[in-house]
Structure 1
């Protein structure tokens, strides 16, 4: 029956990928229903992960409505326009840092138009900085102190003796350096290719001749008077979350009997941040519901609900069989966990969903905590299928046509930088984990 159940899971994920968007979560629920009709008891619902995502998105959306996102994008544009020669490095740095701070990769949407315009103005194919920037925004989720994936994973590892700060101490440098090494390799490849400049792209020349391409120049944004204060409130809340999570950690033990668990604290802090911004900036709560970050974040919550629930249902039903088949292999070759996570994430479309579905089983199979931590960045392989929102947005925003999806499913510019970034991050993860764990 395991093969029939696996077929149901794969069929549901494939259908969800074809439909795209929030429908991925809908189809995950359909898969759970089919498995239940086949006699499988539904697994645990990932309500803890979803609660964190929703709370963080509320704080981000409130900051966006208050003008905080415009303020950050304005700063990013100034940095990029002052250093256009280093666009391939600066673009992923900006999207990485924004995701690290916000706990969601959807913040990359706001910077893509700026990256595209600066690239066009400096004869750089937008596909190069956009592709690396999108990958960086995805992989930074595994290093963000408030992302649902990190919070859930750190709670698992804490039971194994690995503290919250150790998780961040490995995840942040390994993923950041991995993204920078990827930018370096892609720069070398571009320099070796005489046709890499945008002016030598035939698709761009054709669009330019037809008047499809537009060079807009610097965009003037009206920054709200409360924009800076909303960003400051969010940053203070982020520091407070990290401080509390560290203080209640078994490794630190500053608070022996904490009034709130880590998950509860993050949810409470994020909702408090949203409340303070609403009060301080006099934001209309109804406007938050229509914010782009709120819509995309709630869509992601539904996707995680359906897909992660489907994954936990299948794994829980066949845990013994999976342990017998994969236990010895993963113990002998722990790096194989990264391969498993990579392919799972490409189907599950969520770092949190992949972490929730597979990491408990991996640790139960005997994978060392350090090895699991090193392999953690592989849950960010959301770029494999060309249907993820930030990937599609990059394609749509590049009017030069350099960022395009070919006739083959995997024929797009995100594959190579994505594989490189995860490979570098995992390899560095093993190195840092050896030193810190």
Structure 2
């Protein structure tokens, strides 16, 4: 029966991937329903993860409506235009930092047009900086102090003796250095190829002749309250980290906290949204139509469906999974990264993958240091070229250099993605071995 149920899970994920967008979550719910009809008791719903995502997105969307996102993108544009030769490094640096600060990779949407413009102006194929930037925006989720994946993972690690701060102490340097090493490798590949310049791309030349390459876009108009909204958000982010630090068992400044870390993040983020609405004259109804709000709520539904589907199957067969994989993972802990890599490619969410598999991995006896080192592998959302930020990069690159090949997997995001995760896991084992 386990194989029939596994087939149901895979079929639901396949249907969701084919339909795309929010339908990924719909298909996950359908899969849970079919499993229930087969006699499987549904697992725990990932309401804690979803609540965090929704609260963070509310704060981000309020900041966007107030003009804060345009202000941040304007800063990024100035940095990129002043240093075009370093675009392959600066593009992922900016998307990494924005994701780190916001807790969602969807902030990368706003920087993609700027990256594309700067690349075109300097005869660089946009596919190179765009691909590394998209990967950086995905992998930075596992280092963001307010991302749902990090907050949930820290909650299951704490009983094992690894706290929130220790998780970040490994995740932040390992993922950041990995992204920069990936950019270095991709730049070296370009330097070794005499035809890597944009002018040598046949698709670009054909589009240029047809006159379909867009010229530089108009300057963004920054709203009066833009800087204020960014300041409020940053102060809230610092407050979240300060509270999480204060209630940590390692620090112990607050021995009996009235709010858990999850509750504090949700309360702080909703409070930030309220403060921005009050201080920046934001109309609440405008938040509902913000692009970050729409994409974030879509992500919440996707996590609800696929994470619930994953936890339902894993919980129903935990004994069989332990018999099959327990000893192997304990003896070869690096294999956890491989499992997470392929699971994330199907589940399309760092939070969903973490929620579905990390508790089981720790229960199987995987050492906490190995779990922390393997954690960045939940960011393998680039394998199938159907993730929103990946598709956006393809659409926004009007030169045609960022394109999906005939064989689906031959797209420009796969190599930098595999490199970034490989570097992150390897560095994570090194740092974790010292700190944990």
Structure 2: runs of 5+ lacking an equivalent:
none
1:310 to 2:294 alignment: no
2:69 counterpart SS class: helix
Give the equivalent residue in structure 2 for 1:74.
74
8 A Cα contact 1:207 1:213, kept in partner? yes
- Once the 2 structures are TM-superposed, how far is the Cα of residue 215 of structure 1 from its aligned partner? 2.3
The DSSP-based 3-state class of the residue aligned with 2:160 is coil
* Counterpart check, 1:279 vs 2:275: no
Name the residue aligned to 1:207.
207
SS of alignment partner, residue 52 of structure 2? helix
Matched, 1:159 2:136: no
Q: State the match for 1:386 in structure 2.
A: 385
2:188 — aligned with what? 188
Partner deviation per Cα, 1:205-264 (whole Å, 9 max, x = no partner): 0000011112216x4111111101100100000010011011111111110110100000
Matched, 1:341 2:340: yes
Give the match's secondary structure for 2:287.
helix
Q: Distance in 1 between matches of 2:33 and 2:159?
A: 32
Deviation at 1:38, TM superposition (A): 0.2
Residue 291 of structure 1: aligned partner: 290
Partner Cα separation in structure 2 for residue 257 and residue 27 of structure 1: 41
What TM-score results when the alignment is normalised by the length of structure 1?
0.99
1:37 is aligned to 2:15: no
8 Å CA contact 1:66, 1:226 repeated in 2 = yes
1:7 CA drift (Å):
0.4
Offset at residue 308 of structure 1 (A): 0.1
- Matched residue SS, 1:88: helix
Aligned-partner Cα distance in 1 for 2:195–2:349 = 35
CA contact (8 A) 1:120 1:215 kept: no
Match of 2:362 in 1: 363
Q: Give a deviation string over 1:14-67, Cα, whole Å, max 9, x none.
A: 110011000000000000000000000000000000000000000000000000
- Partner secondary structure for residue 159 of structure 1: helix
Separation in 2, partners of 1:191, 1:252: 48
Shift of 1:417: 0.2
Instruction: Out of 310-319 and 157-166, give the one that drifted further.
Output: 157-166
Distance, in Å, in 2 between the alignment partners of 1:127 and 1:46 is 35
How far apart, CA to CA, are the structure 1 residues paired with 2:435 and 2:229?
35
Q: Which residue of 1 aligns with 2:324?
A: 325
Q: What are the equivalent positions in structure 2 for 1:18-33 lying under 5 Å apart? A: 18-33=18-33
Tell me how far apart the structure 1 counterparts of residues 351 and 344 of structure 2 sit (CA, whole Å).
Answer: 9
Give the conservation status (yes or no) of the 8 Å contact 1:99–1:140.
Answer: yes
SS in 2 for 1:322: helix
Give the match's secondary structure for 1:123.
coil
Q: Secondary structure at the match of 1:111?
A: helix
> 2:93 maps to what in 1?
93
Please list, as runs of the form range in 1=range in 2, the aligned pairs for 1:412-423 lying within 5 A after superposition.
Answer: 412-423=411-422
Rounded Cα–Cα distance in structure 2 between residues aligned with 1:335 and 1:150: 20
> Structure 1 CA distance, aligned partners of 2:199 and 2:429?
41
Q: CA–CA distance in 2 between the matches of 1:187 and 1:362?
A: 36
CA distance in 1, matches of 2:43, 2:392: 34
Task: Give the gaps of 5 or more residues in structure 1.
Answer: none
Q: How does 1:25-174 map to 2 (within 5 A)?
A: 25-174=25-174
- The residue aligned with 1:235 is 234
C-alpha distance after superposition, 1:374-402 (max 9, x if no partner): 00000000000000000000000000000
1: distance between equivalents of 2:39 and 2:33?
10
Find the aligned partners of 1:12 and 1:432 in 2 and give their Cα distance.
38
Q: Number of matched residues?
A: 436
Q: What secondary structure, in the 3-state scheme, does the structure 2 residue paired with 1:407 have?
A: coil
The runs of 4+ residues in structure 1 deviating greater than 2 Å are none
